[in-house]
Amino acid sequence: MKRKWKAVREVLLEAELSSGEFRARLEKLGACAKDFKSFEDYGRIPPLRKRDIIGLQAEHGLRWFLNCEPGQLGRIYQSPGPIFDPEGADPDYWAWTEGFFAAGFRPGDLAQMTFSYHMTPAGLMLEQPLRGIGCAVIPAGPGNTEKQIEFMTGLPVTAFVGMTSYLKVIGEKAMAAGFDLRKDFRLKKAYVAAEPLPEGLRREVEEMFGITVRQGYGTADVGCIAYECMELGGMHLSNFRHVEICDPVTGEPLPEGEVGEVVVTPFFTDYPLVRLATGDLSSIDLSPCACGRTARKLTGWKGRADDTAKVKGQFLYPAQAATVCARQPDVSAWQIRVKNPGGRDVLVVLLEADLEIDTNAFVEDFQAVMKLRPVVEVVRPGTIPAGAPQLVDERTFD
């Protein structure tokens, strides 16, 4: 813990020096960075939330958060919110290498990357550590399932990177086309992220292809937070992040073992983020792991602590969806429902209207803003109860 406190201390001092956002938090607290001398003190700093970053970036610009000029960064992405996600120039900036290695990725693996390379960070964020390990990467991106199958059967692809639900879709379409997933594919492993992984879905996909499936957990802001090893039983915390489990209301750290909000401080200083609240709920498992790693484990995803939902790797903000729905003057009310029949996330948007709505135009507009394609249902006025939440997550994860 001494090593981690030293790293956190460096972030604190840099944030006070260069981040207008963090200085404003310190001023409200009536403190300075040197007042925090241990992790016990550190928990007094109010967490930073994604919705705060969205508002502050819009008000002050990205430069207000940085210790350098934007042109000195490695890359700048944009995630739904909208929120800019800076990437520094350091190798393994997002700290995913240890997660891939724990999942069995080794030099000489040919990995098929099905996360997006467009605007959002996932594709490049996860490609860089693979290249560092010595793997080759096919930048396939999401969708175009027939082409994904063509790559996997025409090339010696040994590893898949993406969402488990999408690998299942690939397998089902390949079997429907007459392929034998064990003979015609050379897959040995999959590294998955961006959605909850029910054990039933893991077993189903592992049995389909005859592979191992291991997951990582992270965000577009901080990169890797935790990862599974071959022994399973939770996700080891990254050695390059300080992770706390906190009361979602007060932001104060909770006793070990209690369920609370995951709060993360990454050890980079280009874009110093102090105590970023993820909105995800989990707890810490202190029991030793048979793999020999000493890093504590997260027990898995336990739900959300705020009014957002993560769907197909993208955060869904009701306030942002409201801007799309406001462009429809004939819509009197709306509600988003997230479901997962058969383990696949489905986004349903209910629109109350007396008149006919151009649903195709609405779908295109929604997808352009939210990066998610919904199913639209036009319903009679009064169907959505007054005061009903605008976002309802009906998913179950067995």
Helix, strand and coil content of the chain, in percent to the nearest 5, comes to 30, 25, 45
First to last CA, the chain: 35
- Tens-place pLDDT, residues 198-230: 898 999 999 999 999 999 999 999 999 999 999
Is residue 33, in this structure, part of any structural domain at all? no
Q: Residue 314's pLDDT is what? A: 80
The position carrying tokens 């010696």 is 156
pLDDT, mean of residues 1-8: 91
pTM for this entry: 0.83
Q: Write out the two tokens for 215.
A: 């997951």
Q: Residue 29's pLDDT is what? A: 95
Strands 189-192, 136-138: pairing kind: unpaired
With a cut of 80, say whether residue 397 has pLDDT above it.
no
Mean pLDDT of the chain: 93
Q: How far apart are CA 102 and CA 123, in angstroms?
A: 19
- Tens-place pLDDT, residues 80-96: 889 999 999 988 999 99
Cβ partners under 8 Å of residue 68, min gap 6: 270
- Per-residue confidence band for 393, with pLDDT thresholds at 50, 70 and 90: confident
Q: Residue 311's pLDDT is what? A: 85
The position carrying tokens 């241990």 is 38
Q: Residue 398's pLDDT is what? A: 61
Q: Residue 18's pLDDT is what? A: 96
- Per-residue confidence band for 321, with pLDDT thresholds at 50, 70 and 90: confident
Q: How far apart are CA 124 and CA 280, in angstroms?
A: 23
With a cut of 90, say whether residue 241 has pLDDT above it.
yes
Is residue 350, in this structure, part of any structural domain at all? yes
- Tens-place pLDDT, residues 284-299: 999 999 999 999 999 9
Q: How far apart are CA 20 and CA 17, in angstroms?
A: 8
Q: Residue 233's pLDDT is what? A: 92
Range with lowest mean pLDDT among 83-97, 158-172, 246-260, 298-312: 298-312
CA-based nearest residue to 366, from 324, 334, 337: 324
Q: Write out the two tokens for 233.
A: 């039983």
Is residue 369, in this structure, part of any structural domain at all? yes
The position carrying tokens 């969708």 is 143
What's the gap between Cα 244 and its chain centre?
A: 17
Is residue 218, in this structure, part of any structural domain at all? no
Q: Do 303 and 260 form a contact (C-beta atoms < 8 A)?
A: no
- Tens-place pLDDT, residues 322-352: 888 888 888 988 999 999 888 788 999 999 9
With a cut of 70, say whether residue 9 has pLDDT above it.
yes
Q: Residue 326's pLDDT is what? A: 84
Burial string for 253-262 (b: 16+ CB within 10 Å, else e) reads bbeeeeebbb
Q: Helical H runs in 237-352?
A: 318-325
Is residue 383, in this structure, part of any structural domain at all? yes
Q: How far apart are CA 122 and CA 120, in angstroms?
A: 6
> What is the domain range of residue 338?
314-393
Is residue 331, in this structure, part of any structural domain at all? yes
Q: Write out the two tokens for 157.
A: 């692809």
Q: Do 241 and 278 form a contact (C-beta atoms < 8 A)?
A: no
- Tens-place pLDDT, residues 345-363: 899 999 998 888 899 999 9
Number of domains the chain is built from: 1
DSSP string of 207-218, one letter each residue: HHHT-EEEEEEE
Is residue 329, in this structure, part of any structural domain at all? yes
What CATH number does residue 345 fall under? 3.30.300.30
Q: How far apart are CA 370 and CA 195, in angstroms?
A: 17
Give the SS3 label for residue 153. helix
What is the maximum span of the chain, computed from C-alpha positions, in angstroms? 67
- Per-residue confidence band for 282, with pLDDT thresholds at 50, 70 and 90: very high
Is residue 370, in this structure, part of any structural domain at all? yes
CA-based nearest residue to 213, from 195, 194, 193: 193
Residue percentage of the chain with pLDDT more than 90: 77
